[in-house]
Amino acid sequence: MKRIFSGVQPTGNLHLGNYLGAIRNWVHLQDDFECIFCVVDLHAITVWQEPGELTAHTREVTAGLLASGIDPEKHIVFNQSQVSCHAELAWIFNCVARLGWLNRMTQFKEKAGKHKENASVGLYAYPNLMAADILLYKATHVPVGEDQKQHLELARDIAAKFNNDFSKDVFPLPEPLIFGEATRVMSLKDGTKKMSKSDPSELSRINMTDDADTIVKKIRKARTDAEPLPETAKELEGRAEALNLVGIYAALEGITADDVLAKVAGEGFAVFKQQLADLAVSKLGPIQDEMRRLMADPGYVDGVLKDGALRAYDLAQPNLEEVHEVIGFLRS
Q: Which residue numbers are catalytic?
A: 111, 194, 197
Cα dihedral sign, 299-304-310-312: negative
Stretch that binds ligand TRP, among 3-11, 208-216, 221-229, 291-299 (CB under 6 A): 3-11
**Can you say whether residue 230 is alpha, beta or left, with left for phi > 0 and alpha for psi between -120 and 50 degrees?**
beta
| Residue 129 contacts residue 147 (beta carbons within 8 Å) | no
Report the distance separating Cα 210 and Cα 13, nearest Å.
10
* Of the residues 4, 40, 66, 215, which one makes contact with ligand TRP according to CB under 6 A: 40
Report the distance separating Cα 174 and Cα 182, nearest Å.
22
Q: Is 135 in the site for ligand TRP (CB under 6 A)?
A: no
Other beta carbons within 10 angstroms of residue 242's beta carbon come to: 23
Q: Is 148 in the site for ligand AMP (CB under 6 A)?
A: yes
Stretch that binds ligand TRP, among 5-13, 51-59, 190-198, 260-268 (CB under 6 A): 5-13
* Of the residues 134, 154, 206, 236, which one makes contact with ligand TRP according to CB under 6 A: 134
Stretch that binds ligand AMP, among 82-90, 95-103, 140-148, 321-329 (CB under 6 A): 140-148
Q: Is 105 in the site for ligand TRP (CB under 6 A)?
A: no
> Which residues are registered as beta bridge partners of 186?
194
* Main-chain phi, psi angles of 256, to 5 degrees: -90, 165
| Residue 136 contacts residue 86 (beta carbons within 8 Å) | yes
Report the distance separating Cα 193 and Cα 241, nearest Å.
10
Contacted entry of ligand TRP, ligand AMP, none for residue 134, CB cut-off 5 to 8 Å set by kind: ligand TRP
* Of the residues 111, 161, 184, 283, which one makes contact with ligand AMP according to CB under 6 A: 184
* Of the residues 61, 125, 142, 304, which one makes contact with ligand TRP according to CB under 6 A: 142
> Which residues are registered as beta bridge partners of 175?
141
Other beta carbons within 10 angstroms of residue 117's beta carbon come to: 6
Minimum separation from the CB atom of position 168 to ligand TRP (A): 23
* Of the residues 3, 57, 194, 273, which one makes contact with ligand AMP according to CB under 6 A: 194
* Of the residues 39, 144, 159, 280, which one makes contact with ligand TRP according to CB under 6 A: 144
Q: Is 134 in the site for ligand AMP (CB under 6 A)?
A: no
Rounded (5°) CA angle 187-193-195:
40
Q: Is 148 in the site for ligand TRP (CB under 6 A)?
A: yes
Contacted entry of ligand AMP, ligand TRP, none for residue 18, CB cut-off 5 to 8 Å set by kind: ligand AMP
Report the distance separating Cα 46 and Cα 128, nearest Å.
12
When the beta carbons of 156 and 194 are compared against ligand AMP, the nearer one is 194
Residues that bind ligand AMP (CB under 6 A): 8-9, 17-18, 21-22, 144-145, 147-148, 182-185, 194-195, 197
